[in-house]
Structure 1
């Protein structure tokens, strides 16, 4: 099934141009709508900090500043969308509660595209990225240099439900790829799985693939990243947060390795 709507959350900052350029690459491959959603700072987030002792004049000034910044950010985001060179676009500037509005936009999109900085926990959309991936469980693309809709795609496969969800939701991209390589690191997993079974699954859906089996043991994240880079992958498809999020936060995990390392663009699904 082709994709019809690609969502690009925008903050009204310089990263918007990179996000839109990546979203346009994917949208163009499917003749899909590029839906830009400006997600400004939410005035409601300031209210809990305004206790009884908070001076009325200071409160009003703070709220006015947030609203003015939101208006300026909307102008920048609109200009970035107009300058991205893609024809089929739509634009919405979200209002309070901004997170709830962005979540609703994501639920009605086939893919959500973020810039790499948000995935690394930097910038105003960092929290939105985590919520879209982990809480909303929307298919999400982390855009990095070299992204192509018809390039080499690597699929990180361990037979788990997160990897399965990511692979199945990424099928439209896999079908457009110039080549697909299945990456497995069985010595790094306690799960028993057969990469050839995935190869047969993809073949039945008109996706030819090869298998790279990593013999070394140890942390799967760096091994899979290196294998993806060795394969010349422009995109790595992977399940996100295979362990509870608190455990991932404390101990790291493969997802964190993928997000923090240099490497190809990421297609994530939880």
Structure 2
């Protein structure tokens, strides 16, 4: 379980979720602290170089200590012994999440922040990792918990990304008391979603799901509204089924869910 240790207000929630996931599978939690690229000064600068190197070493030591402490406290809250380690990377956060995420089972990224915080065509670290890591991602907002999943809401549109997300979420869906498969029909009308086959497949894995069909011009809006109406504890969706560039420009379904989910969101690309 690769966890972004950025202190963004949701770090404790996603660390708790990571240790809970690890307990389900005797897994290991790896906390990632990405500092961003750090420049090396020329040796010929002399005293300035020594001063910079000292400041850099102090900063890295502080990041290392803060990350290790956050992991230790989360392990203590979990109440059971767990295997964990801390990874310090002098890399861009998105790049670090993607590259180290490739060797992980799941990525728990930092909050993507408000879309207005980024230039229109720039992806957040979470968005970059989602597209490039090839691993499922669990976005955990502040105050959210995975300890109890009474209701899981699954977004289904018959696309590859949605199928990948459902498969990746299967261990959590098995723990849910109720699973709702939601198909959102837009302006083009009803089409073949393969939902019958998916319901049967879920049944073979011990997941009894019910199908709900809603009509809405906004898929993301409908999903978020349904999440609230059903008091869902988990939202599952495929990410970037359409052009990622288009979503970055217009703020599509994936971006809206990443930035606004009120519950843990398991998303795959």
> TM-score higher than 0.5 here?
yes
Aligned match for 1:19, one of 10, 14, 19: 14
In the superposition, the TM-score normalised over structure 2's length comes to: 0.81
Structure 1 partner of 2:145: 147
Matches within 5 A, 1:57-72: 64-72=54-62
Contact 2:169 2:266 in 1 (8 A): yes
CA distance in 1, matches of 2:96, 2:144: 31
RMSD between superposed Cα atoms in Å? 2.9
Shift of 1:150: 4.3
CA distance in 2, matches of 1:11, 1:207: 35
Structure 2 partner of 1:29: 24
Contact 1:41 1:70 in 2 (8 A): no
Q: Which 10-residue stretch deviates more, 240-249 or 154-163?
A: 240-249
Shift of 1:24: 1.7
Structure 1 partner of 2:192: 192
Aligned match for 1:9, one of 4, 17, 22: 4
Matched, 1:118 2:112: yes
**Could you list the runs of 5+ residues in structure 1 that have no partner in the other structure?**
1-5
Q: Which 10-residue stretch deviates more, 69-78 or 194-203?
A: 194-203
Matches within 5 A, 1:1-270: 6-11=1-6, 15-43=10-38, 46=39, 64-84=54-74, 85=76, 86=78, 87-97=81-91, 102-115=97-110, 117-118=111-112, 120=114, 127-144=124-141, 145-151=143-149, 152-187=151-186, 192-214=192-214, 216-270=215-269
SS in 2 for 1:241: coil
**Could you list the runs of 5+ residues in structure 2 that have no partner in the other structure?**
none
Change (3 A) 1:101 1:148: closer
CA distance in 1, matches of 2:48, 2:29: 39
Change (3 A) 1:150 1:98: same
**How many residues get paired?**
254
SS in 1 for 2:104: coil
CA distance in 1, matches of 2:204, 2:68: 42
CA distance in 2, matches of 1:41, 1:80: 20
